Chain A
Amino acid sequence: MATISQEHLRKKNPGILLKTPMLIVVFLILFGCSNPEMELGEQVFKGTCKACHAGGLNGAPIYGNKRMWAKRLPQGIPVLVEHASSGYGLMPAKGGNTNLTEQEITAAVKFMVSKVAE
């Protein structure tokens, strides 16, 4: 069956074209942005971690790269957080941003992990 053209929809239900974007917005508010920890994590990631974890500098596991995270994930979140906080191998403690709190590091680690754990 062919997809319904917008023209057809407009005739049948003139309001639907307006309502659909509204529904999407409501959906995003309800589900997309409903996790404050992920939001904080993304913020910390962009502010501090991304400098190394986007390009894989010094072997930093690249954001979203399942292959690079595979060996590290089984350690579990608490160990990853501890490594990110205190430093680990070539990873500097807190990515060099010593002002970051335990809560912020945890959020950033969870944010990075969420992109490979799906």
Chain B
Amino acid sequence: MNKLLKTKSVKFGVAAVVASSALSLSGCGETEAKGIAPELYTDSLFAVMKADRTNYTKYVVKRLGPNGANVIKPDEHWQDIENGTLLPAQMFRAGAEAVAEMTDQFTYSLQSKWPINSQNAPKTPVETEGLEYIAENPGENFYGEETLGDTKYFTAVYPDVAVSSACSSCHNDHKDSPKTDFKVGDVMGGVIIRVPLES
């Protein structure tokens, strides 16, 4: 499990923006150049992730899956099925993994206090605090800072909600799920986005 190692090597994202604005500020007293606020940065990233996930659910899984044209089969073990396709959570994770291969500017993950896949459990105190906060305050986001290694990070946690009975029933019935009483509207976990504040 090298998730932590991976996040530790993250550098330069927001740090670069902040550093460049510091340079121009201390430079020649020209017009003030501001770095993007970390909250706006992670909110924007999350908006894209959310839109993509909704569209995958709506235009692929619903439209072509068993409740639509029934030509594809979304399944946890999609690789073993000829017309199998990824569950939205797996699609999301595939995105996070592809991004991790491309850049070390930021990391994101889908986690839960009650994970089916134990790799999706919180790993740092701030992740745990954030997941607890969003579970207790439905609809609210959590923003925190944490230092891992010698890097300070901005960590945002966005709620992931059981938007249909498909979410709750699949998790409740899954043999590896530590929680079996999810219902529609419950916060099931959260999307964690972490960006470095300084290198």
A55 at the B interface (CB under 8 A): yes
With A92-B184, A92-B185: A51-B54 Cβ-Cβ less than 8 Å: no
Residues A92 and B50 in contact, CB atoms below 8 Å apart: no
A41 at the B interface (CB under 8 A): no
Residues A57 and B185 in contact, CB atoms below 8 Å apart: no
Within the complex, the shortest CB–CB distance from A25 to chain B, in Å, comes to 28
Q: Which residue of A lies closest to B160 (CB)?
A: A57
A90 at the B interface (CB under 8 A): yes
Q: Give CA–CA (A48, B159) in the complex, Å.
A: 14
Residues A58 and B184 in contact, CB atoms below 8 Å apart: no
Q: Which residue of B lies closest to A59 (CB)?
A: B54
Tally of chain B residues near chain A (CB < 8 A): 21
Majority-rule SS of A interface residues? helix
Within the complex, the shortest CB–CB distance from A59 to chain B, in Å, comes to 5
Residues A55 and B185 in contact, CB atoms below 8 Å apart: no
Within the complex, the shortest CB–CB distance from A61 to chain B, in Å, comes to 13
Residues B141 and A52 in contact, CB atoms below 8 Å apart: no
Residues B163 and A58 in contact, CB atoms below 8 Å apart: yes
With A52-B163, A55-B158, A58-B54: A96-B139 Cβ-Cβ less than 8 Å: no
B161 at the A interface (CB under 8 A): yes
Contacts of B164 in A (CB 8 A): 90, 92
Most buried by B among A53, A59, A95: A59
Residues of A within 8 A of B (CB): 46, 48, 50-59, 90, 92, 95-97
Residues of B within 8 A of A (CB): 50, 54, 57-58, 138-141, 158-165, 183-187
**Subset of 9 A-B contacts with CB under 8 Å:** A51-B138, A51-B159, A52-B185, A57-B160, A58-B57, A59-B54, A92-B184, A96-B183, A97-B185
